Chains A and B, each alone.
Chain A
Amino acid sequence: MKRFARLFTEIDQTTKTSVKTTALSAYFTQAPDADKLWCIALFSGRRPKRAVTTTNLREWAAERAGIPLWLLEESYPIVGDLAETIALVLPPPTQASDHSLSHWINVLRGLHEVPLVDRKPRILDAWDQLDTTERFLFNKLITGGFRIGVSRKLMTHALAQATKQDEAVLAHKLMGGWTPETTSFHALVEADDPAADQSRPYPFYLAYQLDDAPETLGAPEDWQAEWKWDGIRGQLILRDQAHHVWSRGEELMTDRFPEFARAADFLPPGTVLDGEILAWDDAQPMPFSALQPRIGRKTVPKKLLREAPVILLAYDLLEDKGEDMRHQPLATRRARLDAILRDLPGDAPVQASPTVSFDTWVDLAQTRAKARDHRAEGLMLKRRDSAYLSGRKKGDWWKWKLDPLTVDAVMIYAQQGHGRRANLFTDFTFAVWQGNELIPFTKAYSGLTDKEFDEITAWVRKNTQQRFGPVRQVRPEHVFEIAFEGIQPSPRHKSGLALRFPRMSRWRNDKSPQEANTLDDLRALLAAYG
């Protein structure tokens, strides 16, 4: 664990990507294979299955630290991270040890095989052998969310450097449903067997937001425009008589969307499509809120399948007849995609996402303004000769979204953030007027500068009217402009509506709370855009 703790410390002590890369690359050169494999797993969002609850952890840590549980609970929001809070309150270790990262992960995996009563002494024993940093990492392995300033991209870059491989090839190898339990460092990283995992998706190519005028992109004829849908980005894989559906977050969603089982009836094996999974009402996408109940479920009841059937609107072809198409220009891929999908019956679960034709950027801007009529949130612009790259790259793919809707709202509750935002009030609840009453209708967490968060935090501390656990009710005094992408009816909320991607776009210091919008204003937006 000391080696891994050293790696963490080196990464944590710098804001420079080059230093992080060097540290990771050195780790990938020197650490034992089992540790390297787990390191890859952790930085690509995989972790050992949780064997103890955070409630257990809190109780055991408080007991070991000789403090009441409430004191640990009160410290947690100030620290902003449970794993760290526990690491900090525990007394110094009394035993020395230097077991490997995978040793401690195996200790955690072993917990599943023993009754709960035997898990506690093992955790206490681990804490007693680890220093503060090692404990923090050990606790993180249990609590999850292993975000410590290393993106998957950075990890892949460093691993490519350490193993002298092409980064894109490596990124592809690291995709899919493997876990350290099902593979080895050699099989995953070093062996070159493309058939090793038939379900393996390709790394997604992601677009940047277009902030400049489209004219800056050059000649319109070099570009292809498509609607930008508000669904789940997904990859549909047909290989070897089986089909697999992956989300952009690399979650295997095959069972959640049984509609795609029929894709094999229409499409040949060796086909991989990239597109948007949308709830579909025969002719057009349904709002994202219709898709939402489908996301959380591992199995889907018949009623839901009827109410919110999904399809894939495909916009790219990554594999054709078993051949990797990604290096081909978009125009070629698109022509082939259209050819494959052209003769599909109307009830097939896959359709081509239409391209939007245009002659001038001015034309296209007018089309974009009507995106909401098409249930789209804007346009995608893709260079016709672009290859399908991996990750977020600037230059060839852009999302050109509609300007958001906005409403002025009053802040009524505040809560402290986590991680980098610990000890700062960053999570707010907003309300609009209904007569003399403020009706809460959304939360928002982002959009302000660090300085603004500092300022509002000081204000919250002095203007708290009441506390409900970590939530503070504050004097309704500050008005914020809330920007959002869409609005939907929602019987679950007191306001009767729900926003899509709400964030604070401006602190309206110039407005008094009385000048904020009303619930009727929101209902008018719902009628117009819902």
Chain B
Amino acid sequence: MSQPVLTFTDRGIYCPAGDFHIDPWRAVDRALITHGHADHARPGHAAYLATTGALPVIRHRLGEISAEGVAYGETRQIGSARVSFHPAGHLPGSAQIRVEVEGEVWVVSGDYKVVNDGLSEPFEPVRCHAFISECTFGLPVFTWPGQAEVAAEINAWWAANAAAGRTSMLGAYSLGKSQRLMSMLEPQGPILTHGAVEATNAVLRAQGYPLPETLQVTPDTDVKALKGALVIAPPSALGSTWARRFGPASTGFASGWMRLRGIRRRRGMDRGFVISDHADWPGLQEAIKSSGAEKIYVTHGYTEIFSRWLNDQGYDAAIVPTEFGGEDGAEGETAS
């Protein structure tokens, strides 16, 4: 084989055999997109390819684009590369991308989690020779409690707030985490949403994802009449004037970063709930092991530490340079 299946360029991950990029950060002719989060699906590419599940959100976020949808597991020939998308469990429609050239298989994980959240298509391990894995939470201090346990914790908080006449304000990213939360909780009152969250809800509902009933907060909403409500909003909205309309409230933030007390306190919210759409430390080990790959490239997160650990474990591991700083926690708390 003359050149590697995938290379790392200043635009992102590139496949020479198929002349396409995966999740590129600068404009390219053909982009394969793992999922709709802003650091993966960027505007300006001439052509997009994503799963049919991910595409509606990508279109909603990027506007007028030339895009094509592909089903999970469906194989496409692009140049001399065979390409297919496989569930990553990160959020509805999210994918790992498998690229095969002359019998050599590489997989780009995108963002993933190995546990089933009940809403996203569950993660499926894909056997490969080289696995490009994210490692946002690639430290042994990051282990997640089970989803049921966190759901019970949030339900109890919500119920206690409702009983005390307080609104529960939960900060969560508008695509993925918000919908996961609303579908895993046991309603203790009405669920209100910020416009950014509700817009994503509408897209996912139209695709047939089962989401509970929600009510978007508008200037006309009589929030005081909605007793015991849970408000789901992007974290940035919780500290803003938008949040003041709810009167007495308790605030919470749902993110893997809440595992760390320092970060939890810095957020200045009443509660931090440890729930992430990224793999935790054991999840990363499991995904890497089940890929069967010997060559591991790590990206997004504590790459230096995580690759050293993998090399200690006998893998051939290296760091993928990315625009988002190829080193420790470069994305800080943007990913959750």
Instruction: Evaluate whether A457 and B332 lie within 8 angstroms (CB atoms) in the complex, with A13-B270, A75-B141, A420-B266 already known.
Output: yes
CB distance from B206 to the nearest CB of A (A): 36
Q: Is the pair A423, B305 in contact by a Cβ cutoff of 8 Å?
A: no
Contact of B260 among A13, A79, A89, A149 (CB under 8 A): A79
CB distance from B234 to the nearest CB of A (A): 17
User: In the assembly, what is the distance between CA of A224 and CA of B27, in Å?
Assistant: 70
Q: Is the pair B141, A79 in contact by a Cβ cutoff of 8 Å?
A: yes
User: In the assembly, what is the distance between CA of A86 and CA of B143, in Å?
Assistant: 13
Q: Is the pair B332, A84 in contact by a Cβ cutoff of 8 Å?
A: no
Q: Is the pair B327, A450 in contact by a Cβ cutoff of 8 Å?
A: no
Stretch at the interface among A63-71, A163-171, A331-339, A368-376: A63-71
User: In the assembly, what is the distance between CA of A419 and CA of B265, in Å?
Assistant: 9
Set of chain A residues within 8 Å of B318, measured between Cβ atoms: none
**A30 close to B (CB within 8 Å):** no
Instruction: Evaluate whether A421 and B262 lie within 8 angstroms (CB atoms) in the complex, with A75-B141, A78-B328 already known.
Output: yes
Set of chain B residues within 8 Å of A424, measured between Cβ atoms: 266
Contact of B262 among A70, A71, A422, A450 (CB under 8 A): A422
**A381 close to B (CB within 8 Å):** no
Q: Is the pair A423, B329 in contact by a Cβ cutoff of 8 Å?
A: yes
Q: Is the pair B261, A421 in contact by a Cβ cutoff of 8 Å?
A: no
Mark interface residues in A417-458 (1 if CB within 8 Å of B CB, else 0).
Answer: 011111110000000000000000000000000100010011
Contact of B268 among A15, A65, A454, A464 (CB under 8 A): A15
Q: Is the pair B332, A421 in contact by a Cβ cutoff of 8 Å?
A: no
User: In the assembly, what is the distance between CA of A13 and CA of B332, in Å?
Assistant: 22
CB distance from A426 to the nearest CB of B (A): 11
In A80-125, the 8 Å CB interface with B consists of: 80-81, 84-85, 88-89
In B223-282, the 8 Å CB interface with A consists of: 259-263, 265-266, 268, 270-271
The chain B residue with its CB closest to the CB of A89 is B140
Set of chain A residues within 8 Å of B266, measured between Cβ atoms: 420-421, 424, 450
CB distance from A59 to the nearest CB of B (A): 15
Q: Is the pair A423, B260 in contact by a Cβ cutoff of 8 Å?
A: yes
Q: Is the pair A67, B140 in contact by a Cβ cutoff of 8 Å?
A: yes
**B25 close to A (CB within 8 Å):** no
**B20 close to A (CB within 8 Å):** no
User: In the assembly, what is the distance between CA of A41 and CA of B285, in Å?
Assistant: 43
Q: Is the pair A85, B332 in contact by a Cβ cutoff of 8 Å?
A: no
CB distance from B81 to the nearest CB of A (A): 32
Contact of B139 among A75, A149, A464 (CB under 8 A): A75
**B312 close to A (CB within 8 Å):** yes
CB distance from A96 to the nearest CB of B (A): 17
**B79 close to A (CB within 8 Å):** no
User: In the assembly, what is the distance between CA of A420 and CA of B308, in Å?
Assistant: 27
Set of chain A residues within 8 Å of B28, measured between Cβ atoms: none
Q: Is the pair B268, A419 in contact by a Cβ cutoff of 8 Å?
A: no
**A392 close to B (CB within 8 Å):** no
Q: Is the pair A422, B140 in contact by a Cβ cutoff of 8 Å?
A: no
Q: Is the pair A13, B327 in contact by a Cβ cutoff of 8 Å?
A: no
Question: Which of A72, A88, A419, A464 is most buried by chain B, counting CB atoms within 10 A of its CB?
Answer: A88
**B302 close to A (CB within 8 Å):** yes
User: In the assembly, what is the distance between CA of A70 and CA of B308, in Å?
Assistant: 10
Q: Is the pair B262, A14 in contact by a Cβ cutoff of 8 Å?
A: no
Set of chain B residues within 8 Å of A464, measured between Cβ atoms: 327
Q: Is the pair A71, B268 in contact by a Cβ cutoff of 8 Å?
A: no
Instruction: Evaluate whether A75 and B270 lie within 8 angstroms (CB atoms) in the complex, with A420-B262, A454-B332 already known.
Output: no
SS class, residues of chain B in contact with chain A: loop
Mark interface residues in A489-518 (1 if CB within 8 Å of B CB, else 0).
Answer: 000000000000000000000000000000
User: In the assembly, what is the distance between CA of A464 and CA of B139, in Å?
Assistant: 21
Q: Is the pair B302, A78 in contact by a Cβ cutoff of 8 Å?
A: yes
User: In the assembly, what is the distance between CA of A509 and CA of B116, in Å?
Assistant: 47
Contact of A65 among B140, B309, B325 (CB under 8 A): B140
Q: Is the pair A80, B312 in contact by a Cβ cutoff of 8 Å?
A: no
**A461 close to B (CB within 8 Å):** yes
Set of chain A residues within 8 Å of B47, measured between Cβ atoms: none
**B128 close to A (CB within 8 Å):** no
Set of chain A residues within 8 Å of B260, measured between Cβ atoms: 78-80, 84, 422-423
**A33 close to B (CB within 8 Å):** no
**A12 close to B (CB within 8 Å):** yes
In A29-83, the 8 Å CB interface with B consists of: 65, 67-68, 70-72, 74-75, 78-81
The chain B residue with its CB closest to the CB of A74 is B305
Q: Is the pair A458, B332 in contact by a Cβ cutoff of 8 Å?
A: yes
User: In the assembly, what is the distance between CA of A89 and CA of B327, in Å?
Assistant: 22
User: In the assembly, what is the distance between CA of A358 and CA of B46, in Å?
Assistant: 78
**A462 close to B (CB within 8 Å):** yes
Set of chain B residues within 8 Å of A71, measured between Cβ atoms: 139-140, 305, 309
Q: Is the pair B327, A461 in contact by a Cβ cutoff of 8 Å?
A: yes
User: In the assembly, what is the distance between CA of A85 and CA of B308, in Å?
Assistant: 19
Set of chain A residues within 8 Å of B332, measured between Cβ atoms: 423, 454, 457-458
User: In the assembly, what is the distance between CA of A388 and CA of B309, in Å?
Assistant: 59
CB distance from A80 to the nearest CB of B (A): 4
The chain B residue with its CB closest to the CB of A462 is B325
Q: Is the pair B302, A13 in contact by a Cβ cutoff of 8 Å?
A: no
**B115 close to A (CB within 8 Å):** no
Mark interface residues in B294-332 (1 if CB within 8 Å of A CB, else 0).
Answer: 000000001001001100100000000000010111101
Contact of B263 among A65, A136, A423, A458 (CB under 8 A): A423
Measured CB to CB, the residues of B under 8 A from A are 139-143, 259-263, 265-266, 268, 270-271, 302, 305, 308-309, 312, 325, 327-330, 332
Measured CB to CB, the residues of A under 8 A from B are 12-15, 65, 67-68, 70-72, 74-75, 78-81, 84-85, 88-89, 136, 149, 418-424, 450, 454, 457-458, 461-462, 464
Given contacts A81-B262, A421-B262, A457-B332, could you give 19 more A-B pairs where the C-beta distance is less than 8 Å?
A13-B270, A65-B140, A71-B139, A71-B305, A75-B140, A79-B260, A80-B262, A88-B143, A89-B140, A136-B261, A419-B265, A420-B266, A422-B260, A423-B263, A423-B329, A424-B266, A458-B332, A461-B328, A461-B330
Listed A/B pairs (21) with beta-carbon separation below 8 Å: A12-B265, A65-B140, A71-B309, A74-B139, A75-B141, A78-B302, A80-B260, A80-B262, A84-B260, A84-B261, A88-B140, A419-B265, A421-B262, A421-B266, A422-B260, A422-B263, A423-B263, A457-B332, A461-B325, A462-B330, A464-B327
